[in-house]
Amino acid sequence: MQPEANARQRVVILGGGFGGVYCARYLRRYAADKVDVELISQNNYFVFQPLLPEVASGIISAPDAVTSLRLLLPRVKVRMAEVRDIDLQQKIVHIVQGSKRNPLRVSYDHLVIAFGQKTDLSRYPGFEDHSRTMRDLADAHSLRNHIIECLEHADITEDKALKRRLLTFVVAGGGFSGVETLGELMDMVRRTRRHYPNIDEKEIRGILVQRGQRILPELPPKLGEFARRNLERRGLEIRLGASLRSATATAVFLGDGERIETSTLLTTVGNGPSPLVQKLGLPMQRGKIETDAMLRVKGHDTVWAVGDAALITQPDREGKSPEVAPPTAQFAVREARCAARNIALALDDKPLAAFRYRPLGALASLGNYNGVAEIAGVRLSGLFAWLLWRGIYIGMLPSFSTRLRVALNWLFDYFLPRSIVQIANSEPAAARYMCFARGDIVCKPGQILDGFYTVVDGQLESRITSDDPDGEDVVQLIGPGDHWGERSLAGNATVQGTLVSREDTRVLVLRRQDFSNLCAALPVVDRYFKTISRDSYPRSLRTALDAIPPAPHAAPE
């Protein structure tokens, strides 16, 4: 059913990065009186990704590099939730939110997909287990703690081989992210080395592995060559034309068989679509959603895509071959503006405008007060390019408070020594205990289970409410050794009954992914759950906790 002409339209935006945030802001500008905008993101903050290398190196503190989405988008409904599925026919987004993972459905009139891409390292054996990424704030914070741990250990160990491995830092990928991260990290390591008397500067080794024949391929060759020479003068190794093969806990292997002993492997390659996007059945090319010139997803008039998730082409200046919009912040902001304007035009049944944008230039920081830039055809390098990089990026930050905090961080870094305090986050246990007092509700109908559950001690009551008004509820007691969740995890299903604690009870919970890993690693465990008879479950658990048929295109966690 089409909405009434004068009814406010619901625009749902998926993703809290550059594309999603700026699309929401521009929609409030172009169609504030016609639309209700809702932005769904797994985080409640916006992170300026070009600053992540400086977060990792300790120049900028992690809280100062982000802005609250609610403060940034005061007239937009912000929902922190996980998107599980999208029903493109019914125009419904299926989400789960809260600690209880309650499933909800969010309807829309127009949908903007601004997820970005996920890191896909499956083609490189061992990389998923032994490499680090630089995609969000947690990655930068984790990398910083890891580098400090390497320095602390290297300063006290008497094992020379271990020390060499701890002081060897490998970055895979010679684009903006890889070059800027390696430059900042090496600057951090060398500036803090004086606090570690047993580490000689000659023992520190930084290696950049690039498949292509030059680094920073987004910039003109002369600037890429300047960047390479600058990094090499600072003692860094640049491996051009080198491919990656695999990684272990102690080394990375290149395509020619070379083994590089290292405890730190950072990868900035291997981007791919999220599992959800892959399952939607949308037209895709090069791992991205295909759009038309107006940024609509091909074949869907009310679905739009912007940012890294979208394959957006525009004619070159001579109107000949198409150019693919690169995955950079300045392009994402302009794409968001174009999509917002076209949604506003579509609401008025006016002709849409094709996306066209010519970037003003590109900049990269090399660390150690050096940078490279091309602005309006003018090529710059060295200190002035680095200052220009900082000036332009601070102007792109989305709020005055964030700009002020970042500027103060930069000022303090110039005059004060870097902090080498390691504030590590505790790693969540793969298995955890949950305690319930008498009368506590463990599960409710409609919840999505997020793990495999086993009763350790105590007693639970499973109750199924009869659909027949004259029927009786089915009640079953669950005691030590009883378990549930494996069938629901396999089907991404919801709970259909209510589970209540009859007495003080302790339950062991194994997280979804860890349960899957355990079954994959131990064939005997996998066979047990595949062959266990349905009749061996308590009657109430068979009905209340078994999986309902999964929704189409259900996305794995």
User: Do 239 and 374 sit in the same domain of this protein?
Assistant: yes
Kindly state the DSSP code that residue 132 receives in the 8-state scheme: B
User: Do 392 and 520 sit in the same domain of this protein?
Assistant: no
Please give the pLDDT value at position 551: 34
Continuous segment of H or E residues that includes residue 103: strand 102-107
Predicted structure pTM score: 0.85
Please give the pLDDT value at position 552: 32
User: Do 374 and 314 sit in the same domain of this protein?
Assistant: no
Please give the pLDDT value at position 513: 86
Q: Of 357, 374, 406, which closes a domain?
A: 357
User: Do 341 and 382 sit in the same domain of this protein?
Assistant: no
Cα distances (angstroms) measured from residue 285 to each of 61, 112, 291, 311, 354:
38, 18, 10, 7, 20
**Residue 67 maps to a domain:** no
Find all residues with CB under 8 Å of 73, minimum gap 6, and list them.
21, 24, 25, 28, 39
**Residue 277 maps to a domain:** yes
Please give the pLDDT value at position 466: 65
pLDDT digits (tens, 9 = 90+) for 279-296: 899 999 888 999 999 999
User: Do 137 and 253 sit in the same domain of this protein?
Assistant: yes
The percentage of residues in the chain with a pLDDT greater than 90, rounded to a whole number, is 50
**Residue 72 maps to a domain:** no
User: Do 159 and 248 sit in the same domain of this protein?
Assistant: yes
How many whole angstroms separate alpha carbon 12 and alpha carbon 91? 10
User: Do 94 and 156 sit in the same domain of this protein?
Assistant: no
Tokens of 507: 């339950």
**Residue 503 maps to a domain:** yes
Find all residues with CB under 8 Å of 74, minimum gap 6, and list them.
none
User: Do 328 and 254 sit in the same domain of this protein?
Assistant: no
User: Do 163 and 85 sit in the same domain of this protein?
Assistant: no
Q: Which domain holds residue 32?
A: 9-42+81-117+273-357
The secondary structure of 414-452, three-state, reads HHCCCCCCCCCCCCCCCEEEEEECCCCEEECCCCECCEE
**Residue 556 maps to a domain:** no
Please give the pLDDT value at position 98: 77
**Residue 63 maps to a domain:** no
- CATH number of residue 410's parent domain: 3.50.50.100
**Residue 3 maps to a domain:** no
Residues of the chain falling short of pLDDT 50? 1-3, 540-541, 543-557
pLDDT digits (tens, 9 = 90+) for 202-214: 999 999 999 999 9
User: Do 264 and 151 sit in the same domain of this protein?
Assistant: yes
Q: Of 357, 379, 407, which closes a domain?
A: 357
User: Do 406 and 476 sit in the same domain of this protein?
Assistant: no
Tokens of 213: 């024949």
- CATH number of residue 289's parent domain: 3.50.50.60
Please give the pLDDT value at position 164: 96
**């409710």: which residue's tokens?**
444
| 246 phi/psi in degrees, rounded to 5 | -165, 175
Please give the pLDDT value at position 53: 92
pLDDT digits (tens, 9 = 90+) for 329-368: 889 999 999 999 999 999 999 999 999 988 878 888 998 8
Q: What's the chain's average pLDDT?
A: 86
Q: Of 332, 357, 382, which closes a domain?
A: 357
**Residue 219 maps to a domain:** yes
User: Do 312 and 399 sit in the same domain of this protein?
Assistant: no
Nearest to 172 by CA among 257, 286, 233, 255: 255
Query: Quick one: how far is CA 69 from the chain centroid?
Result: 16
Q: How many helices (H) does the chain have, and how many strands (E)?
A: 16, 35
| 474 phi/psi in degrees, rounded to 5 | -100, 125
Residues paired with 39 in a beta bridge: 13, 78
Torsion of Cα atoms, 142 then 187 then 150 then 511, to 10°: 10
How many domains does one find in the chain?
A: 3
Please give the pLDDT value at position 546: 45
Please give the pLDDT value at position 307: 92
- CATH number of residue 513's parent domain: 2.60.120.10
